[in-house]
């Protein structure tokens, strides 16, 4: 027996005054409504209605039970409405994880526009260059810049591609010379990013389409690209960087691209979120906003 359905049937019978009217309101026959209430009485071990051929009346137990049913059903209806409203209007706190450079230099540029579009949302942004467990660490969504995503139960939506290039300051190149081929890098101070599988291995595609790999060395390695870019600006050496991170410095001439004829494999920007049949509105609108943003702009 579906006890909630029987409770709703009892309420309709009492409020509408007949089994037939209750059945019409519930989309059931009056026989089914009568059977539901009989099963409910059998379960409770108490008579709820005194029936005659033409009318009925609540018993003392029925009066008490009807009042309790009404309270319970009203509370359930209120809960349903609250959830429905929450589903319609994204609200609450959206916890986002992003790489340090991307979160502070790129995401921070358009996050205010997203928040202005959804005033009932709050964002808790955590930036770091370690791979977090979204479920274990309580994040709703993550942004990743990577060449290869590990196998995961998470949903991954590709948003854009980011060029990766070598850069150095004009001062460094004046003092140490400009590399013409990847092999020339062996004579240079190369600043390496440690959050990749092989930090010292830099791979390129040559003008003839062939892959070229060199193992580099240098005086500085770091787990954040911002530190490496800052060191390159200071003339310390040559480093790899994502195009979004150094575009202003490249435009101003504070950094120049090294080996432009030997491109490096780009990194892909993904948004990741847990697989859930009922995706929360706050995650849904964030993913849609980011997808539309990067579909309509030339990131590089």
* pLDDT per position as a tens digit, 1-55: 688 888 888 888 888 888 888 888 888 888 888 899 888 888 888 888 887 766 7
The CATH architecture one would assign to domain 92-161+268-295 is: 3-Layer(aba) Sandwich (3.40)
State the DSSP string of 90-146.
Answer: --EEEEEEE-HHHIIIIIHHHHHHHHHH-TTEEEEEEE-SS---HHHHT-SEEEEEE
* Residues 225 and 242 sit within 8 Å (Cβ to Cβ): yes
Residue 79 has pLDDT above 80, yes or no: no
Token pair belonging to 35: 């059977």
Give CATH 3.40.190.290 domain extents, the chain. 164-265
- Per-residue model confidence (pLDDT) at position 166: 97
Query: Dihedral of CA 227/158/91/108: which sign?
Result: positive
* Antiparallel, parallel or unpaired: β 221-222 and 201-205: unpaired
Residue 254 has pLDDT above 90, yes or no: yes
- The SS3 assignment for 282 reads helix
Please state whether the predicted TM-score (pTM) of the whole model is above 0.85: no
Residue 87 has pLDDT above 60, yes or no: no
Pick the residue with more confidence: 82 or 206?
A: 206
Give CATH 1.10.10.10 domain extents, the chain. 3-87
Give CATH 3.40.190.10 domain extents, the chain. 92-161+268-295
Lowest-confidence pick of 82-96, 130-144, 181-195, 206-220 = 82-96
Residue 244 has pLDDT above 60, yes or no: yes
Rounded average pLDDT over 231-247 = 94
- Report the CATH number of the 164-265 domain: 3.40.190.290
Q: Is residue 278 classed exposed, middle or buried when 0-12, 13-18 and 19+ CB atoms within 10 A define those classes?
A: exposed
Residue 86 has pLDDT above 60, yes or no: no
Q: Which listed CATH number (1.10.260.40, 1.10.10.10, 3.40.50.2000, 3.50.50.60) goes with 3-87?
A: 1.10.10.10
Pick the residue with more confidence: 149 or 96?
A: 96
* pLDDT tens digits along 148-175: 877 677 889 999 988 999 999 999 999 9
Tally Cβ neighbours within 10 Å of residue 9: 26
């Amino acid at each position: 027996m579906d006890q909630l359905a029987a409770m709703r049937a009892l309420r309709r019978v009492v409020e509408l005054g007949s089994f037939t009217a209750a059945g019409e309101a519930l989309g059931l026959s009056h026989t089914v409504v009568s059977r539901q209430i009989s099963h409910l009485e059998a379960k409770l071990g108490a008579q709820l209605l005194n029936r005659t051929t033409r009318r009925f009346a609540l018993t003392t137990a029925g009066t008490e039970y009807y009042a309790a049913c009404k309270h319970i059903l009203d509370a359930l209806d209120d809960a349903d409405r609250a959830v429905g409203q929450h589903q319609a209007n994204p609200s609450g706190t959206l916890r986002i994880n992003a790489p340090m450079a991307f979160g502070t230099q790129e995401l921070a540029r358009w996050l205010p526009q997203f928040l202005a579009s959804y005033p009932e949302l709050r964002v808790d942004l955590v930036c770091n260059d370690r791979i977090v467990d979204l479920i274990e660490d309580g994040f709703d969504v993550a942004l990743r810049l990577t060449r290869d995503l590990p196998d995961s139960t998470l949903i991954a939506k590709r948003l854009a591609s980011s060029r990766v290039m070598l850069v150095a300051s004009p001062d460094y190149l004046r003092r140490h010379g400009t590399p013409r081929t990847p092999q020339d890098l062996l004579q240079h101070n190369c600043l390496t990013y440690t959050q990749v599988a092989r930090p010292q291995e830099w791979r390129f595609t040559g003008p003839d389409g062939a892959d070229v790999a060199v193992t580099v060395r240098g005086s500085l390695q770091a787990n954040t690209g911002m530190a490496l870019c800052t060191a390159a600006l200071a003339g310390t050496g040559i480093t790899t960087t994502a195009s979004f991170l150094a575009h202003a410095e490249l435009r101003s001439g504070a950094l120049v691209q090294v080996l432009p004829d030997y491109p490096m494999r780009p990194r892909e920007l993904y948004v990741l979120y847990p697989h859930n049949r009922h995706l929360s509105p706050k995650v849904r609108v964030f993913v849609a906003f980011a997808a539309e943003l990067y579909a309509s702009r030339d990131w590089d």
